[in-house]
Amino acid sequence: MICREKTVCFTGHRELREHTDTLFPKLYETVELLIQRGYCYFGTGGARGFDALAAEVVLALKEKYPHIHLILVLPFKMQYSYEQGWSIEDVIQHQQHKKRASKVVYTQETYSAGCYYKRNRHLVDFSGICICYQYKNTGGTAYTTKYAREQGVKIIQI
At residue 2, does pLDDT exceed 80?
A: no
Terminal-to-terminal C-alpha distance of the chain: 28
Q: What value does the mean pLDDT of the chain take?
A: 95
Flag the least confident range among 22-26, 77-81, 142-146. 77-81
pTM of the model: 0.95
At residue 52, does pLDDT exceed 60?
A: yes
At residue 1, does pLDDT exceed 60?
A: no
Confidence of residue 18 (pLDDT cuts 50, 70, 90): confident
Mean pLDDT confidence for 104-116: 96
CA-closest candidate to residue 158, choices 52, 55, 31, 7:
31
Domain ranges of the chain: 4-157
Q: For residues 153 and 126, give the distance between their C-alpha atoms in angstroms, rounded to a whole number.
A: 10
CATH of region 4-157: 3.40.50.450
Confidence of residue 19 (pLDDT cuts 50, 70, 90): confident
Return the percentage of the chain with pLDDT > 90, whole number: 91
At residue 39, does pLDDT exceed 70?
A: yes
DSSP characters over 77-112: TTHHHHSS---HHHHHHHHHHHHH-SEEEES-SS--
pLDDT of residue 3: 86
